[in-house]
Chain A
Amino acid sequence: MILRRHLSITARLLLATLLAALAGFPLYWMLATAITPSSQLFNGAQPLIPDFTRIPNAFQALAGGTPFLRWMTNSGIVAGGTTIFSLLLATLAAYALSRYRFRGKGLIGFGFFATQMLPEALLVVPMYSLFMSLGLLNQLHGLIMVDTAIATPVATWVLKAAIDTVPYEIEEAGLLDGCGPLRVLGRIVVPIIAPSLAAAGVICFFDGWGEYLFATTFIEDKSRWVASTGLASFIGEFETPLDLVFSAALIFTIPAIIFFVIVQRRIVSGLAAGSVKG
């Protein structure tokens, strides 16, 4: 019995190590490439284990003279704005979908889901002309508006599932005290579904932080580029040293990972609320 337990723990440990190694390798390789001098990178000469004393070189893309810090700031603005606006729209919508019966509810719910099927490549041309007529091209807030439209339906879905699990009796107390629905939502429901808000927030943040197609099509001005546009401009270009490119890629990745680690525990419980009902 004890032997069997040992075996199963060992097997699990091995499997976990294998999976973690597979998941971790490309990230490790990003770091390894960023800290290896360009001259050692080509024709199979790249060492599997880099010289780790060169770690500071991982941050070389932040040095003065490179536009990368500016692009990252822009990405941060877009991701932050997207998260705030999507969560606001989604919380209100999710509360309505979860708590009220009203005409057109099924249709609206389906409409929200249907947005997940729309290919961006089909929308990008009509959206370009819409944004041109609204004077929103080449603006970071224009990009926030696009990304909010992309992120809101998924956030609504996660939050609706979370509100579904909140017992209605808790709210009734507030309603009896004469609070309006907005107050009940803000004072009673939102604190309870905080983990799901964190989960939805991460999804929105990633949408804004990493989005590439619209960012590249809508923003022409190089000083207003976001990091994904800037980074993609290095693809197929051979002037920028490769270690510098990977330093940029790494620096672009790190904030997303940090943000993720902070809310990681909440994500699982937040998604759990949504997955009970499937």
Chain B
Amino acid sequence: MTYQTSTKGKRWAVRLTPYLLIGSATIYLLVFIGVPLLQGARLSFTDTRLLNPSAGRWVGVDNYARLLTDGQFLGSIATTLLYTVLTVAATMFLGSVSAFTINHTFPGRAVARSLMVFPWAVPTVAVALVFRWIYNDNSGVANSALKTLGIGQVGWLTNPDFGLLSVIIATVWKISPFVMLVVLASLQSVPLELYEAAKVDGANPWKSFTTVTLPYILPTLKTVALLMTIWSFRRFEIIWLLTGGGPADATNTIVINVYRQAFNNSRLGFAAAIGMIGLLMSVVITVTYFIVEARTERKETRA
């Protein structure tokens, strides 16, 4: 009898174990992320203002309806997409090239590798400070260089035609090392036997790259690209600290727009609605990614 009770108790304990293990993190995230998210969702249906937050009234979908004709918001969608596509393309390219370069031995490799990953460690505020100084109209080294080349100066952060480009350059500088590290890790886990087999088959370096390396690291590349995309979609700090959304809204991405509406115009409800749309777009991108992934996987197993 006692024996039975104890196994029954044990089975319960085994069943409960995973929930106890994951419970602390889950509850933590529910309280500190889930609850604020629900609050944000609720806010988006009200006309709450920053100065008197308790006086907000329920306005239904008014905020969302207003967004459809809000030129600044529609512009911010285009800016966000452009920023995301260019940033992801540039970081994936630069990060992968860096990883391939550093994956082979050459003199000075350790130093080069360290220098190439350091930007990832630099705090965003410091990145913003140094790039603002490099981009400075009259005193920045970027314009000094252009002057020496006889091109004349560019308003890196003051000319609406250049604002987004300048912000993208600073972003790419800071986050490419992350791509490099992950791709490097993946490259180093390719089994050497595969390369030897390719060599035996008479494959030249390019052939062994396309038939061995690329297929092996492709899943990693895809995952990193997805992460880079959703992180770029919501990136706030570096853009805010470099331009604050300017010049003339040139870098006014969706999240910058959220912050400005909330804190500069004190329209909390309206800002929350913009944030919810931004979140929704991220979810659509991610879900699309997983659906496409699942489909290609199914096709591959069938073939």
Contacts and interface: CB of A to CB of B under 8 A. Distances in A.
A2 interface: no
- Give the residue among A123, A234, A252 with the most B Cβ atoms within 10 A: A123
A252 B126 contact: yes
A179 interface: no
Given A129-B39, A271-B185, A272-B186, A122 B275 contact: yes
A44 B147 CA distance: 10
A113 B286 CA distance: 10
Contacts of A277: 219
B24 A92 contact: yes
A181 B18 CA distance: 10
A42 interface: yes
Contacts of A129: 39, 53
A272 B183 CA distance: 9
Contact of B173 (A23, A45, A242, A275): A23
Q: How large is the interface on B (under 10, 10 to 19, 20 to 34, 35 or more residues)?
A: 35 or more
A256 B219 contact: no
Nearest to B116: A23
A30 B126 contact: yes
A12 interface: yes
B197 interface: no
Nearest to A16: B112
Contacts of B51: none
A107 B192 CA distance: 38
- Majority secondary structure of chain A interface residues (helix, strand, loop or mixed): helix
B207 interface: no
A126 B22 contact: no
Nearest to B124: A210
B61 interface: no
Contacts of A12: 101, 104, 106
A63 interface: no
A117 B229 CA distance: 10
Nearest to B16: A102
B214 interface: no
Nearest to A153: B29
A116 B227 contact: yes
A123 B131 CA distance: 28
A43 B141 CA distance: 10
B153 to A, nearest CB: 9
- Give the residue among B268, B276, B283, B286 with the most A Cβ atoms within 10 A: B286
A122 B126 contact: no
Interface stretch (A52-60, A166-174, A257-265): A257-265
Contact of A23 (B119, B123, B126): B119
Given A235-B129, A235-B132, 7 more contacts: A41-B139, A44-B143, A44-B144, A102-B19, A149-B32, A268-B185, A275-B186
Interface of B: 15, 17-19, 21-22, 24-26, 28-29, 32-33, 35-37, 39-40, 43, 50, 53, 94, 97-98, 101-102, 104, 106-109, 111-112, 114-134, 138-139, 141, 143-144, 147, 173, 177, 181-182, 184-186, 188-189, 217, 219-220, 222-223, 227, 230-231, 233-234, 236-237, 240-241, 254-256, 258-259, 262, 268, 271-272, 275-276, 278-279, 282-283, 286
